[in-house]
Chain A
């Protein structure tokens, strides 16, 4: 689960296109990665209609 979405108050900068741009405190690169562990792939279960359709294709009618 993503622990925290980006500080949304600062998201205004994105939409406001640097409303009051200030010189960076540093020109060094700082990248902040989210604390995210992608969920493990889950098997997808078909619903009843999907199962029936697939069976019809091979000649089995329920």
Chain B
């Protein structure tokens, strides 16, 4: 029987331009074919998507249901997505069940939220980036939940770097300026989108959504053998409904215009309904969430080279 993988560093390329992505896996298989790797979550369909309220409630409810009587360890960076996760869980889970995995940068990122909802009210544990031990310990009596996958649903990290005139460029005009290999590759990928892509802003969302999604799903699993996706690790932006939202929602809804403050405005507005923090909605910019955290040698040693579809890891030595 041929072994199939969810991740294999030997089979997946690194993209260096136009964006930097490791372990690129094309969920459409339209641009980069990789039969050895199995798609964990297919791309979404063009449908009438569920509302943000319903999507958020369902994600949190799923996490609470899967936790059963165990702890829910919420990795809170202080950023928009993990603040959303914690806000939603605070609505439906008892405080005694929640444990916030965080560090000092989390507090700096959103000090008001920390003071209002976490300090003195929720158990906290230090999210050390020099060791996986906090995550391993969490799995002993609970599940780990993250705000991951909201980025590929909503857009691309590189958005901040792209000037407005490039973002609004039409796709035909954009492709005309590229070499033949890129034109063909991008055209194949664009053709696989259920929704018509009009601009470079659309395109870079699609690039991230199709090529970076699976890598983000597996990011932390590469180092922790006991971590199994959707068994004890849950990402808020996961599942068919969020994927349908991603595909069915115009990019102008996810990020209106070109002021980066408007990126994920629907999420910030949803958070505001809970926190009543208008200043956050109006001024919060997406910032890098998790910082540099370990030596190259440690990462090289700890990171699995492959993960099979029955969640077995392999290392080089």
Contacts and interface: CB of A to CB of B under 8 A. Distances in A.
Contacts of A23: 161-163, 166
A47 interface: no
Nearest to B17: A30
B160 interface: yes
Given A2-B305, A16-B291, A34-B9, A26 B20 contact: no
B191 interface: no
A22 B160 CA distance: 8
A17 B288 contact: yes
Interface string A1-40: 1100110111111111111011111111111111010100
Nearest to B297: A8
A25 B10 CA distance: 26
A14 B288 contact: no
Interface residues of B, number: 46
A17 B219 CA distance: 12
Interface stretch (B132-140, B181-189, B225-233, B237-245): B181-189
Interface stretch (B107-115, B172-180, B276-284): B172-180
Given A14-B219, A15-B293, A17-B289, A27 B10 contact: no
B151 interface: yes
B16 interface: yes
Contacts, number: 108
Contact of B22 (A1, A6, A19, A21): A6
Nearest to B31: A29
B186 A29 contact: yes
Contacts of A33: 13
B299 interface: yes
B17 A26 contact: yes
Contacts of A28: 17-18, 178-179, 181-182
B249 interface: no
B54 interface: no
A32 B17 CA distance: 10
B288 A2 contact: no
Contact of B15 (A30, A36, A38): A30
A5 B166 CA distance: 33
Given A14-B22, A28-B182, A21 B17 contact: no
A26 B24 CA distance: 18
A9 B297 CA distance: 10
B158 A18 contact: yes
Contacts of A9: 296
A17 B151 contact: yes
Given A15-B291, A27-B182, 7 more contacts: A2-B316, A16-B288, A16-B290, A17-B289, A25-B17, A26-B17, A34-B14
Interface of B: 9-11, 13-22, 24, 32, 151, 157-158, 160-163, 166, 174, 177-179, 181-182, 185-186, 215, 219, 286, 288-293, 296, 299-300, 303, 305, 316
20 contacts: A5-B300, A5-B303, A6-B14, A8-B300, A15-B292, A16-B290, A17-B151, A17-B289, A18-B157, A18-B161, A21-B161, A28-B181, A29-B181, A30-B15, A30-B17, A32-B13, A32-B16, A34-B10, A34-B13, A36-B11
